[in-house]
Amino acid sequence: MRIAFDSIVVGGGSAGAIVAARLATDPTHRVLLIEAGPHYQAAKLPAELGNANAMALSSHSWGMTARLTRNRTVRFPQAKVTGGGSAVGNTVAIRPLPEDLDEWCKLGNPGWSWDECLPILREMEDDQDFGGPLHGQGGRTPIRRFSRGELAPVQAAFYDQCMELGYPVAADHNHPASTGVGPMPTQRSGPDVRFSTALGYLEPLPDNLTIWAHTLVSKVLLDAAGIAHGVEIIADGERMRVPAGQVVLCAGAIMTPAILQRSGVGDPAEVDQAGGVLRIALPAVGRNLLDQPRVGVFLAPSEAAENLDTSTGQVVLRTTSDSYGEANDLYYAMVSRFDLTQHFPRLRQDQRAGGGVVYGVMAVARRPHSRGSVRVVSPDPDVLPAIDLGYLSNPRDVKLLVECIAGCWDLARTPRIASRSSSDPLLLEAADFGGRGTGVRRYLRATVDSAYNPAGTARMAPAEAGGVVDPNGRVHGAQGLYVADASVFPTMVRANINLTVMLVAERISRSLVA
């Protein structure tokens, strides 16, 4: 007996859980949500996924690697569980800037301006600190900020140091005009309790929404006219075709373009490499990979300052670079504690990092200029795609990240922060900033890491402008095939991407149920 659904949503992460839940609001519409990883009900949620103070980057990950620069390949954790990044990440919930969304609109995507998206952001939220016309209460996503009394000592020190340096106080980083230093907005239902879209949107599960976990999607089934009529899956080692009236890809900026390429959508040569039959030639599939590089200055903590069981980050500084002057294009954060097996592994070359734990000041370049790619290397969906982040391929990023390292150095060496260390900064010294700055550039190439915010590989733009999907997420040249995840970002937003991914899912799902 063949099982048929009205809609199949591929990927149950930050976007897919939302899209599936929204499609299922019509009780007559049969929805199948397919997730490659596990799905946990709240009562059986593993402790590490409920703990908002630590990132679960290994136990629920695809095990990906990525080429970071020409000479470095790194681990590239991407979530493999319902809830996706919202289930494993650092819970940061910062909105895109109004200028980010208005730019999307100007690139040929009507309906995506800040004024049009703000009502959706407000409807999503249950903001526990701010109300009024800019914030929402009663939505599914709790937004809370750390109070002064909840800050770890090193976080309070960072806050005070930034204020002493003259940065403005930003009590609400989700105000559209906010800049400066203030408490991090988070997706938490309590000081250390993580919210995920799996918990917020998939419980209770409606009768017309079915979840198949531990199931790989090999490809979307497209006929010669580009009409989607289902997916091919692999579950328990068996291939099966599942019919549907429409398919919505929410597998993320890495796996969504891989599925498209295996389905016959993309650059003809790459579709051939994927073992597919070309259905729709869209060379931009898998191109334009955006990701935010991060750098930092880190120290080995003294025994009394290891910050055990505290949140990784609680306070952030958003500011504008001297290099390019785009508002809030730099993001500095105090890191209470990083395990070097998970973050900045090259720092372990310094013998003073013998314990494998550091703290320090980290910076993220929110508007990188370098671009990367995702490319399928096998028709077998068990074989992960090749990821090239393309870091430092644009010299503008080198200049920007050198500025970031200098900013981190100045903050990390202030007495309030440095006094908690048993050492000087790892792999870096004052002399590295002298002369032509060759030392700091060498440090940059050796230690630059990913903030794990991939986007843009099925960008939303007109087809003639190199787009893959239209403003409603429909794949150009296809019928019944949509994308609603970070892949559609035309440009990078000046924020951690999770809240914007949720906005994309909410905005596109509205067009699907209209």
How does pLDDT run across 474-491, given as a tens digit for each residue? 999 999 999 999 999 999
Q: Which domains does the chain have, with CATH numbers?
A: 1-46+77-89+197-291+453-514 (3.50.50.60), 293-371+389-450 (3.30.410.40)
- pLDDT bracket for residue 283 (50, 70, 90): very high
pLDDT at residue 303 is higher than 80:
no
User: Scanning the structure block, which residue is given the tokens 């935010």?
Assistant: 292
The alpha helices in 312-437, defined as continuous H runs, are: 395-412, 415-418
pLDDT at position 244 is 97
Alpha-carbon span 117 to 507, nearest angstrom? 8
Amino acid 319: pLDDT: 98
Backbone angles phi, psi at 177, to 5 degrees: -105, 10
1 pLDDT above the threshold of 50: no
Model pLDDT, residue 80: 98
Residue 362 phi/psi, 5° resolution?
-115, 145
- Residue 345, burial from CB neighbour count under 10 angstroms (0-12, 13-18, 19+): middle
For residues 137 and 127, what is the distance between their CA atoms, to the nearest angstrom? 5
> Is residue 262 within 8 Å of residue 379, measured between CB atoms?
yes
> Could you tell me which residues are beta bridge partners of residue 139?
none
pLDDT tens digits for range 208-244: 999 999 999 999 999 999 999 999 999 888 899 999 9
Q: What is the mean pLDDT of residues 77-87?
A: 97
Percent of the chain with pLDDT over 70: 99
- For residue 276, pLDDT over 70 is answered with yes
Instruction: Find, among 1, 2, 9, the residue nearest to 480 by Cα.
Output: 9
How far does Cα 25 stand from its chain's mean position? Answer: 27
Average pLDDT over residues 385-401: 97
pLDDT digits (tens, 9 = 90+) for 127-138: 999 999 999 999
Side-chain half-sphere exposure of 63, counting CA atoms within 13 A:
6
**Which of 292, 267, 293 has its CA nearest to residue 278?**
267
In whole angstroms, give the CA distance from residue 254 to residue 357.
29
Task: Decide if 502 contacts 18 (C-beta within 8 A).
Answer: yes
Neighbours of 192 (CB within 10 A): 16
Cα gap 88→284, rounded to integer Å: 29
- Residue 308's pLDDT band, with cuts at 50, 70 and 90, is confident
Closest CA to 241 of 220, 225, 226: 220
The pLDDT of residue 66 is 97
The DSSP line for 170-206 is -S-TTSTT--EEEEPEE-EEETTEE--HHHHHSSSPP
pLDDT tens digits, one per residue of 396-422:
999 999 999 999 999 999 999 999 998
CB 136 within 8 A of CB 124: yes
pLDDT at 305: 75
Whether residue 432 contacts residue 447, with contact meaning beta carbons closer than 8 Å, is answered with no
423 falls in which pLDDT band (50, 70, 90)?
A: confident
Encoding tokens for residue 70?
A: 């020409």
Side-chain-facing half-sphere of 24: CA atoms under 13 Å: 24
CB 475 within 8 A of CB 284: no
Token pair, residue 92, equals: 């940061």
Cβ-contact 154, 420 below 8 angstroms: yes
Amino acid type, 486:
A
Q: Is the pLDDT of residue 2 over 70?
A: no
* Closest to 488 in 3D by CA, of 465, 510, 504: 504
Please report the pLDDT score of residue 437 as a whole number: 81
Q: What is the mean pLDDT of residues 158-164?
A: 97
Measured CA distances, 209 to 9, 30, 448, 502 (Å) = 10, 6, 42, 19
What is the percent of the chain where pLDDT is above 90? 89
pLDDT of residue 62 exceeding 90: yes
Local structure of 349: helix, strand or coil: helix
User: What is the overall mean pLDDT for the chain?
Assistant: 95
Mean pLDDT of 191-200: 95
Number of H helices and number of E strands within the chain?
A: 13, 24
Tell me the sheet residues that pair with 421.
Answer: 301
Secondary element (H or E) of residue 79:
none
Q: How many CA atoms lie within 13 A of 49 on its CB side?
A: 25
